[in-house]
Amino acid sequence: MKKILCICLGNICRSPMAAGILKKVSEDFGIPMQVDSAGTAAYHNGEPAHRLSIKVALEFGVDISAHRAQPFKLEFFDQYDLLLCMDFDHVQSLREKARIEEDLKKIHLYRIDQTIIDDPYYKGESDYIVMYHRLMEDALYWVKFS
């Protein structure tokens, strides 16, 4: 079973929604996989996803209400096959933590066109809706990626 970890800064906006979308898409296509998320910083450790991430995801049929934020841990390199980052700062942060070449090979930008998923934290609901759609655009690619 493929194991994917989605990464953003505080683990309450982008990466929980990305993980929720990947779980839903994998279930919809009958592709078993384990998906979770973490943050490069522990700003919100133990907190639920941002209220607008929860609200918008639920409007599209993705329930992330059980999510609790966690910081990235080195053992995640061993536990996951892919580490999908929302922007270049997250990619760099994980590269700096990588212990071996195999760790580096697991780190990817979530967007396959190499653009970033903007952080909607200080923005409004419409920005969370845009984030949802941008995450959804590449979800099937990662679910089918081997």
- Domain locations in the chain? 2-144
Name the pLDDT band for 146 (thresholds 50, 70, 90): low
What pLDDT, on a 0 to 100 scale, did the predictor assign at position 138?
96
The confidence score (pLDDT) of residue 76 equals 98
104 pLDDT higher than 60: yes
The active-site residue out of 6, 8, 13, 85 is 8
Residue 135 confidence (pLDDT) = 98
**Tens of pLDDT, residues 43-99:** 999 999 999 999 999 999 999 999 999 999 999 999 999 999 999 999 999 999 999
Q: What is the DSSP string of 86-108?
A: SSHHHHHHHHHH--SHHHHHHEE
Fold entry, domain 2-144: Rossmann fold (3.40.50)
Structure confidence at residue 55 (pLDDT): 98
Q: How far is CA 120 from the centre of its chain?
A: 14
Out of 13, 14, 111, 134, the active site residue is: 14
113 has catalytic annotation: no
Q: What pTM was estimated for this model as a whole?
A: 0.96
Q: Is residue 6 among the annotated active site residues?
A: no
Q: Do the Cβ atoms of 3 and 42 come closer than 8 Å? A: no
8 is catalytic: yes
Round the average pLDDT of the chain to a whole number and report it. 97
Average pLDDT over residues 112-119: 96
CA dist list (Å): 73 to 14, 27, 34, 63, 107: 18, 27, 17, 25, 14
